[in-house]
Structure 1
Amino acid sequence: MVENMHERPGAPSAGDGLVRLYGPRFQSDPAAIYREIRREHGPVAPVLLEGDVPAWLVLGYREVHHVTSNPQIFGRDSRRWNAWKDIPADWALRPYAEYQPCSVFTEGEEHRRRGGALSDALAAVDQFELRNQVERIADQLIDTFAESGRADLMAQYALRLPVLAIARLFGLSEADAPSLAADIAASADEGEEAVRAHQRVVARMRRLVEEKQARPGADYPSRLLAHPAGLPPEEIPSDLFLTMGAAQLTTADWMGNTLRLMLTDDRFALNLSGGRRSVGQALNEVLWEETPTQNFVGRWVIQDTRLGGRHIRKGEVVVLGLAAANADSQVRPASYAHASGNQAYMSFSHGLHGCPQPAREIAEAIVQTAIEVLVDRLPDIVLAVPAHELEWRPSVWMRGLIALPAEFSPMYADRPAG
């Protein structure tokens, strides 16, 4: 139940023995920590974010659904947070929690107006042309390592391909892609560099808007500038950052996590005949098991309420535990053998502020096409290290690998005789 008969006491506060959603233990096995929190506290739990900043973590599927379905109680405007006075200026999570004049932090009709413009601009992407572009990019990237017989599929493929595809959608040059990819990845990690990386990406988006105002083209920023909603040009850079950040990080990690599954699980043997048929199932299973966006901050409570037996006070922050909600036994598939069509996961969130459908379609087109090209080109690819040696990036929000070393038969390019 969303509201229990017996209310558990207390708002979260540091020093109460609360679980920390950061550090080596959380990084190595967050699923185990979610299970531990659920056993101890139930579907809504007091936790500590980096810097021992208190928050409420919503782990129950029904509770996440309730929060995302009731924006009149759980708002997106973070200026409501009653803890801002205690948050340091260099807090690593500030870029994702501090209010910005963009669609993510707007509410009600203003969000529908701004979010509608973003969705319309994304829906105009030609899916057929996008897949063709991804095939070309994938072939070019594979060409850079095919002859060596070894590759880090994160650094050389999964982290490079999405940003190259997205750069084209944004009307950016390929030269911009490497630094953008590095800064976007850094902005989602821990530490002071996350704040600086966020600032660099936003600055580049400001310049991009200025460029498109002067020379509009058939690209996403130009469509936003021309949209009938009339978005203020000075506010569009924040939307571009959040769109690009979400697209790059989630798409790269969705790709990397899927490749990891296919390289470590015999059900997804990577070969030309079997691998292609299993890509769609693998993509879906990863959204249940290792969703790229594992937590999302958040919602700020508009009025005192009760959730999962907890008294949540006005102004407190609620973190959506998307990965934990997917693991809720009430909704989790008992078997994935026949669950390829089960898309009830919370991986894209839900409700008014859920990931727009066009964005989901773009991400899926990029990931599926990229993996299919890799499987076709390198059909005997295998993991180059024991699976237990793979390391995950230190992020409370994202679930993605630091590296994914692989081996395969070298594929030599044809050379002219003589």
Structure 2
Amino acid sequence: MTNHPAAGPVPPPGCPAHAGPATAVSDAGPRAAVPMYGPEFAADPHGAYTRMRATFGAIAPVELSPGVYASLVTSYQLSLEILRDTERFAKDPRGWRAMRDGTVGLDNPVAPMMMYRPNALFADGEAHVRLRGAITDSLDRVDPHALSEYVERSAETLIDAFASRGEAELITEYASVIPLLVFNQLFGARPADGPKLVETMMKLFDSGEEAAAANDELLHWISGLLAEKRRQPAADVTSWLMAHPSQLADDELMQQMILLMAAGTDPEQNLIANALRLLLSDDRFAGELSGGSMPVEDALDEVLWNDPPMANYGTRFPRYDCDVAGVRLRKGDPVLISYAAANHEAALASDRRSGNRAHLAWSAGAHRCPAERPARVIASVAIERLLDRLPDMELAVPAERLTWRTGPFSRALAALPVRFPAQATSRTGPSAASVSESTRFDETSGGSQWNPVPSFSTPPAATSPERQPESQQAARRRLLSFLTAWWRGQ
């Protein structure tokens, strides 16, 4: 890109300086924007995407929260083009015009997902290459077999917590907790930190009154973990990040770890829950489940195509005013990629989605998700273990009565209540506190030694009477109490 000494980047052919007028989406005004933050959008997002295409074409004006406007790309090919175009579009949001002029404040509900943070997600160019390299190299050292084994053992523990009740709320008691237990292990935290990490992250995801304090707790936890790993590095992602040739400073280390945790917990929860919903409600899978086959990989592919955990994201900011698909995009106005809409458009051209990985659920281009492999391992093992332990599980309410969390970015169920024949469980084995901490840091290239915590679960025995349904808060308290006892070997 050529720079003018005073005016900044010179627009290439195809931008307003070299082309005629275009349809002005950014200037269309509040009345033209489609709201993406209410229950109506959450109930039928694909219907909204269809109406957007019919009205506006490939790029639609949207309102992410009251007073926060953006352009949403619903075309598969155009999404690929923008995601790969680093010349016209920046990932760094410090050029976001509405935040620079004060129209959008730091306290806005969508600001945490779009504002600048010094991590790989919001970096461009050499800074992005450096930060992303540290992340990908460290994740590549994780042994997928050890990861799979730990997910399975964590799943057994969580299932033991509710198997005897004959019912469960799978978001609070299962899908949201497994990723946190895995991250506790991936980061090399002390086993005793597990329940506290789960509790802290649950408060953050709830975005309630305790969220600010939980954020401080998380920062304190990560700071303490970094100090501990400096004293005694081990075979874990934290130590590998610290030893990476990019030589990340402490604040950079903290930001990359927060990014990994944020990107790998709530989206992972949504992937697990959305696939379970599909397996338990879609007739295409029900027959195979009853026949003893669990088409989990097929269900994951279907979810990644139709209901990806991050439905609308991949935020980009035009570096200068330019025309794209006949639409005038202004410098600094956010452009979001609708992975869900783009995937659905591509899927219409083909009925073959099983095994087809051409979807955009992991994004594309330089910022494609670096954790695709471990994310699929965690989801597939968690789902398979649950269905194997509770093969007669069914939804406790009709699928059409399930509700979705509101918001523009995620495709996330609010709750996933299920019922099943109650099972008695017994937990035997050594306590978590007695697990050996003798793992040592492997300085050889490509080392991936990683010791998962032993399981305390055994196959289920006889059934026991069902209990009355519990509230989500009661289920959460029960779960945290159970996890604390498990980690302490009680």
Amino acid corresponding to residue 202 of structure 2 in structure 1: A
Distance 1:216 1:64, change over 3 A: same
| Contact 2:273 2:413 (8 Å CA) reproduced | yes
The answer on 1:42 being equivalent to 2:42 is no
After the TM superposition, which residues 174-213 of structure 1 pair with which residues of structure 2 at under 5 Å, given as runs? Answer: 174-186=194-206, 200-213=217-230
Counterparts of 1:347-366 in structure 2, within 5 Å, are: 347-356=361-370, 359-366=371-378
> Contact conserved, 2:288 with 2:295, CA < 8 A, in 1?
no
- Quick check: 2:402–2:415 contact (8 Å CA) kept in 1? yes
CA-CA distance at 1:170 after TM superposition: 1.2
**1:153 is aligned to 2:173:** no
Q: CA RMSD in A?
A: 2.4
1:411 aligns with 2:423: yes
Q: Find out whether 1:128 has 2:142 as its counterpart.
A: no
Q: Contact conserved, 2:314 with 2:363, CA < 8 A, in 1?
A: no
Contact 1:184 1:245 (C-alpha < 8 Å) held by counterparts: no
Percent identity over the alignment is: 37
The equivalent residue for 2:391 is 379
- CA-CA distance at 1:395 after TM superposition: 2.4
Measured at CA, do residues 57 and 296 of structure 1 come closer, stay the same or move farther in structure 2, by a change above 3 Å?
same
Question: What does 1:5-404 correspond to in 2, within 5 Å?
Answer: 7-12=22-27, 14-84=29-99, 85-172=102-189, 173-186=193-206, 200-269=217-286, 274=291, 276-328=293-345, 330-332=346-348, 334-335=350-351, 338-356=352-370, 359-404=371-416
What SS does structure 1 have at the residue aligned with 2:164? coil
Looking at structure 1, the residues matched to 213 and 53 of structure 2 have their Cα atoms a distance apart, in angstroms, of: 35
Q: Does 394-403 or 128-137 show the bigger shift?
A: 394-403
Indicate if the aligned counterparts of 1:271 and 1:380 stay in contact, CA closer than 8 A: no
Deviation per CA, 1:96-153, whole angstroms, max 9, x where unpaired? Answer: 2221111111111221121011000001111101111111111111111111111111
Cα deviation per residue 1:199-246 (whole Å; 9 max; x = unaligned)?
A: 554443333323322332221111111101111111221211111111
Letter in 2 for 1:343: R
Q: Check conservation: 1:59, 1:325, Cα contact below 8 A.
A: yes
**Aligned in 2, Cα 1:13/1:211: closer, same or farther, shift over 3 Å?**
farther
Q: How many residues align?
A: 407
Displacement of 1:268 after TM fit? 1.2
- The structure-2 alpha-carbon separation of the partners of 1:267 and 1:306, relative to structure 1 and needing over 3 Å to count, comes to same
- In 2: Cα distance, 1:270 partner to 1:140 partner: 28
Match of 2:443 in 1: none
Q: Distance in 1 between matches of 2:25 and 2:414?
A: 37
Q: Structure 1 regions of 5+ residues with no counterpart? A: none
Query: Cα distance 1:5–1:138, how it changes in 2: closer, same or farther (>3 A)?
Result: farther
Greater C-alpha radius of gyration: 2
Q: Residues 406 and 134 from structure 1, CA distance in 2 versus in 1: closer, same or farther, beyond 3 angstroms?
A: same
Cα distance change on mapping 1:207 and 1:306 into 2, 3 Å: farther
User: Given the superposition, is the C-alpha separation of residues 283 and 10 from structure 1 closer, same or farther in structure 2, using an over 3 Å criterion?
Assistant: closer
Q: CA deviation at 1:159?
A: 1.0
Distance 2:103 2:210 in 1: 20
What TM-score comes out, normalization by structure 1 length?
A: 0.91
Indicate conservation of the 8 Å contact 1:57/1:319, yes or no. Answer: yes
Distance 1:294 1:275, change over 3 A: farther
The residue matched to 2:328 in structure 1 has which SS?
Answer: strand
Residues of 1 paired with 2:213 and 2:410: CA distance? Answer: 18
How many Å separate the matches in 2 of 1:37 and 1:6?
A: 22
SS of the residue corresponding to residue 320 of structure 2 reads coil
> In 2, distance between residues paired with 1:258 and 1:217?
34
CA distance in 2, matches of 1:91, 1:194: 15
Q: Deviations over 1:167-211 (max 9, x none)?
A: 110123312332243145236xxx887777655544433333233
